[in-house]
């Protein structure tokens, strides 16, 4: 690596280290997600402010790996047992409503010459920043409530739906052919998932357990292999690598849960493999959130066109997109009016409307392909930054105002499925 690139890498890692400190200092006033700090400081060291950062092919490749890890962990977080039944049905219905509203909004904006690239804007408006919000909701004790279970389902759909849409509509000019290819890829992913859930030999399970605390780290290496294998497969089929990463996360979870359910005798006297699954997950998260994912967000901040964002005329687009997030992703929360109290429906609308990570991905693809103007990309990301800071705070305030901040509405999964 050249000296400038090494200096940039030091700056990026320094920001990754500073981010938790800044977030901790700010929590007495407000909860600022680390991703917001990382993108913001990336803007500061970027070409439009201090001009210290110089990106090269190596840093770009590392940032791409950060994106892959981000989406892989998003897929890994999804537990089908928690969201099955009515929550997932409402989540799918809600996202389809969002897609229809997003397309309508994008068509109107394009007709008024406010934006270009209808597909990019429409899909961007349907995203939800579930990965960014999970730590906030976990700390607030919301995840085990009825609101939390429904948000897990709707938020997961707010990531899966746009990722599939990106593969079909954004990375190919022949959506029909891409849909067929997508079905073939889905069959391959399902086959991989089926193979992953096959009973492993006790010796293999024991080896995974034994290498958790050694240099072997077999469980982590298997997960990384699954990730790269499905990412490569998606790329070979001409699909976006995000789809491969997301599918790999779900397959990896199935693999670890399957091999964590074996009895103590089969595990040859080792600790329960549920603990093994958690330990492997912690190690993968350490690899992703410790280096690759912060690097992706800092680099995204470096690339953000601040001249376009802060132009007097274009600055108006930030509140416009913020309002559209509430309309497109927030309005479908009305589908839950028979399942949740009114204040929880309002909170869910705000949480669903919080968007950022996939906005960065979609706008990056749009700019690289020349199908999105930099001012629109900057406006979307700027609105996303505000949404993940403000909307969760307002949502939690609504629940606290009703005395719902404790997990007293803890949910019984059988009750949900029976509805």
Instruction: Per-residue pLDDT tens, the chain, 419 aa: give them.
Output: 677 778 888 999 999 898 888 888 877 776 677 777 888 888 888 888 888 888 888 888 888 888 888 888 877 877 666 666 788 889 889 999 999 999 999 999 888 888 777 888 899 999 988 877 876 777 677 877 888 888 888 888 888 888 778 777 655 556 566 667 667 777 777 777 666 666 656 666 677 777 777 777 887 888 888 888 888 887 777 676 777 888 888 888 777 765 555 544 444 444 444 446 677 778 888 888 888 888 888 888 888 777 766 666 667 888 999 999 999 999 999 999 888 888 889 999 999 999 877 888 788 888 877 778 877 888 888 888 888 888 888 888 887 766 554 444 334 433 333 33
Contacts of 346 (CB under 8 A, 6+ apart): 333, 395, 398
Neighbouring residues of 173: CB distance < 8 A, sequence distance ≥ 6:
none
The full set of domains in the chain, from first to last, is: 3-418 (1.20.1530.20)
Q: What is the pLDDT of residue 202?
A: 64
Among residues 221, 240, 336, which one has the least CA distance to residue 287? 221
CA distances from 309 to 205, 312, 320 (A): 52, 8, 13
Tell me, what's the pLDDT at 352? 92
Please give the Cα distance from 136 to 33 (Å, whole number): 8
> Residue 96: its pLDDT value, please?
93
pLDDT at 353: 92
Pair 408, 401: CB distance under 8 Å: no
Read off the pLDDT of residues 185-222 as tens digits, 9 standing for 90 and up: 777 777 776 666 666 566 666 777 777 777 778 878 88
CB-based contacts of 199, cutoff 8 Å, min separation 6: 258, 262
Give the CA count within 13 Å in the CB-facing half-sphere of 368.
11
- Which residue's entry shows tokens 């290496």? 221
Q: How distant, in Å, are the alpha carbons of 100, 245, 362 from that of 365?
A: 22, 16, 5
pTM for the full predicted model: 0.71
């Amino acid at each position: 690596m050249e000296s400038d690139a090494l200096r940039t890498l030091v700056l990026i890692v320094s920001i990754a280290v500073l981010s938790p400190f800044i977030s901790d200092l700010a929590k007495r006033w407000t909860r600022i997600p680390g991703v917001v700090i990382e993108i913001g400081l990336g803007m500061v060291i970027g070409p439009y402010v201090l001009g210290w950062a110089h990106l090269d092919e190596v840093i770009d490749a590392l940032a791409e790996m950060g994106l892959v890890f981000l989406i892989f962990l998003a897929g890994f977080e999804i537990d089908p047992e928690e969201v099955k039944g009515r929550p997932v049905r409402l989540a799918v219905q809600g996202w389809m409503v969002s897609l229809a509203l997003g397309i309508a909004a994008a068509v109107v904006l394009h007709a008024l010459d406010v934006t270009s690239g209808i597909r990019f804007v429409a899909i961007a408006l349907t995203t939800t920043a579930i990965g960014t919000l999970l730590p906030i909701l976990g700390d607030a004790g919301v995840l085990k409530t009825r609101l939390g279970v429904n948000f897990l389902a709707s938020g997961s759909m707010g990531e899966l739906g746009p990722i599939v849409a990106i593969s079909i509509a954004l990375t190919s000019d022949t959506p029909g052919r891409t849909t067929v290819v997508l079905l073939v890829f889905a069959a391959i992913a399902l086959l991989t998932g089926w193979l992953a859930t096959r009973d492993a030999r006790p010796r293999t399970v024991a080896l995974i357990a034994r290498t958790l605390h050694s240099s072997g780290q077999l469980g982590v290496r298997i997960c990384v292999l699954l990730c790269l294998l499905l990412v490569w497969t998606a790329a070979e089929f001409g699909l976006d690598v995000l789809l491969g990463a997301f599918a790999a996360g779900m397959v990896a979870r199935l693999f670890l849960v399957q091999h964590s359910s074996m009895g103590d005798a089969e595990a040859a006297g080792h600790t329960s493999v549920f603990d093994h699954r958690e330990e492997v997950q912690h190690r993968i998260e350490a690899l992703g959130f410790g280096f690759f994912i912060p690097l992706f967000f800092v680099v995204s901040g470096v690339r953000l066109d601040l001249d376009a964002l802060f132009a007097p005329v274009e600055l108006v687009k930030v509140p416009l997109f913020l309002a559209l997030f509430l309309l497109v992703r927030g309005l479908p929360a009305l589908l839950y009016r028979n399942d949740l109290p009114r204040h929880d429906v309002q909170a869910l609308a705000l949480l669903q409307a919080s968007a950022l990570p996939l906005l960065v991905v979609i706008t990056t693809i749009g700019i690289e392909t020349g199908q999105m103007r930099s001012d629109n990309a900057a406006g979307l990301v700027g609105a996303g930054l505000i949404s993940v800071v403000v909307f969760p705070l307002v949502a939690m305030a609504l629940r606290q105002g009703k005395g719902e901040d404790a997990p007293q509405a803890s949910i019984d999964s059988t009750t949900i499925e029976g509805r």
